Structures are given as structure tokens and as C-alpha cells.
């Protein structure tokens, strides 16, 4: 059968897109929870830095008027400033703020992909966009997200598996279930004619019965003709006579 670039809607393509939509919804949940966790880390560092920086600045200005020439004030202010610097360095190294924003963008984008697939597959085939165009859009967006999305923390993956372990009828990302088998589409040769056209088989579940009335003419039997000449006698073959 000749290979063509035209892609039409069929059950196999719909199943593939539905699985990708389910995985996109899972990724949206994972990135949303990751964004919440990373945002907490950023908040736990940012708030103490703000408070300690304010105290260190205020103490350095009013140290002489409050403590006089005491060296204790200078040491305390120095320790506070050093702590603020260390916390800022840790925050910049892990990039909690950037990671939180990246997780948020990924969660929103995956949710849009899921909603887009749900809407398109809910429509009749003749009212959808072209299958080739939709497949191209979904493939490009998923590839771009796979390259740009931040890594999901292990605690979030464990939380996902614990929460949705009983959802066996939903396709899940590979990072949550380990390995994912590859399903190969095999065409049934009996479903196609030798020239590559689909063979259509029509089965009647309710056979059609039609009552036909055929007029029947009465047939008269011929009259029996009995004549003396037509009667034949069987000769007596008895021995001795």
C-alpha cells in the first residue's frame, strides 16, 4: 500500500491523542504542586532576608546612639549581615524564584494542551480541525515543554503515585510509573482489498422478511379414460394350464 502524507481521523489517532491529553493533565498537576513547594522554599528564605536586612540596616545607623562605642553592636550587626548574605547566596544558587515561575508556566501550558485535546475530540470528526495540523501542534508543544520544563522533585512524584495509584484507566507520565510499553499498530490484511482500499462488510442483524402473495390457479386433473381396448389382462402363467 502506498504511503501518503495525508493523515485522516481514525480510532488509532484518537486513542493516541487522548492518552497524550491525559498525560498532559498529569504533568499539569505535577508542575502545579512543584510550584507550590518551590514557592514555599523561596518564601522561607526571602522573608527572613527582608527582616534581617532591615534590622541590620537600622542597627548600623542607630548603633552609636543606642549602644555608644560598644563593640558588641558591631559584632551583632556583622553576624546578621553575614547571615543575610549566606541566605541570598543559597537562594540564588538553587534559583527558587525562577524555578517556581517555570513550574507555573509549565502547569498552565500543559493544562491548555489538555483542554485543547478535550474540546477537539469532543466534536464530530467532520467538524474538527485537520488531523495532520492538530498532530503537528500537539507534537511541537510537547517537545518544547519537554525541553524547557524544570525537573519535578521526587517528593511530588511520590505524592502523585500515592494519590492516584488506583487510577489504572488513565495514561500517566513515564516519570510516575517507571517504564511505559510501546504499542505498535498492526493493520489487518483481511480488512483491505488487494489494491489497498478498505473492505466493507455488511452484516444484517435483523433480516428483512417480505410476504409475497402469488396467485395460484386451480389445476383440474385429466379425466380417467376407461375403454375395453385399454384394459389388458395378465396372462395366467400357472404351470399345468
d(CA 6, CA 158): 42
CB 141 within 8 A of CB 135: no
Domain assignment of residue 233, yes or no: no
End-to-end CA distance of the chain: 93
d(CA 4, CA 134): 17
**Residue pLDDT tens, the chain, 241 long:** 445 567 889 888 999 999 999 999 999 999 999 999 999 999 999 999 999 888 887 777 766 666 665 677 778 788 888 898 999 899 889 999 999 999 999 999 999 999 999 999 999 999 999 999 999 999 999 999 999 999 999 999 999 999 998 888 888 898 887 677 777 777 664 455 555 555 555 555 555 555 556 565 665 555 544 444 444 444 454 444 4
Domain assignment of residue 4, yes or no: no
C-alpha cell of residue 112 = 491548555
d(CA 133, CA 8): 10
- Residue 73: give the domain boundaries: 11-174
Domain assignment of residue 99, yes or no: yes
Q: Among residues 16, 26, 28, 14, which one has the least CA distance to residue 174?
A: 26
Q: How many domains does the chain have?
A: 1
Domain assignment of residue 185, yes or no: no
Q: At what angle do helices 131-148 and 11-67 cross, to 10 degrees?
A: 30
**Model pTM score:** 0.69
Amino acid at each position: 500500500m502506498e504511503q501518503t502524507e495525508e493523515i485522516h481521523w481514525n480510532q488509532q489517532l484518537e486513542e493516541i491523542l487522548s492518552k497524550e491529553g491525559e498525560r498532559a493533565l498529569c504533568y499539569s498537576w505535577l508542575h502545579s504542586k512543584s510550584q507550590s513547594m518551590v514557592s514555599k522554599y523561596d518564601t522561607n528564605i526571602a522573608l527572613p532576608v527582608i527582616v534581617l536586612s532591615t534590622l541590620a540596616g537600622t542597627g548600623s545607623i542607630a548603633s552609636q546612639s543606642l549602644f555608644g562605642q560598644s563593640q558588641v553592636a558591631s559584632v551583632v550587626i556583622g553576624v546578621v549581615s553575614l547571615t543575610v548574605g549566606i541566605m541570598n547566596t543559597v537562594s540564588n544558587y538553587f534559583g527558587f524564584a525562577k524555578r517556581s515561575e517555570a513550574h507555573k508556566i509549565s502547569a498552565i501550558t500543559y493544562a491548555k494542551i489538555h483542554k485543547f485535546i478535550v474540546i477537539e475530540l469532543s466534536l464530530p470528526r467532520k467538524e474538527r480541525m485537520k488531523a495532520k495540523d492538530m498532530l503537528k501542534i500537539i507534537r511541537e508543544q510537547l517537545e518544547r515543554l519537554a525541553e524547557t520544563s524544570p525537573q519535578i522533585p521526587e517528593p511530588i512524584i511520590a505524592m502523585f503515585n500515592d494519590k492516584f495509584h488506583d487510577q489504572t484507566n488513565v495514561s500517566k507520565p513515564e516519570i510516575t510509573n517507571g517504564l511505559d510499553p510501546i504499542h505498535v499498530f498492526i493493520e489487518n490484511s483481511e480488512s483491505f482489498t488487494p489494491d489497498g482500499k478498505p473492505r466493507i462488510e455488511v452484516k444484517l442483524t435483523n433480516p428483512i422478511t417480505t410476504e409475497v402473495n402469488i396467485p395460484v390457479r386451480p389445476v383440474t386433473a385429466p379425466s380417467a379414460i376407461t375403454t375395453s381396448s385399454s384394459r389388458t389382462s395378465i396372462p395366467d402363467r400357472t404351470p399345468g394350464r
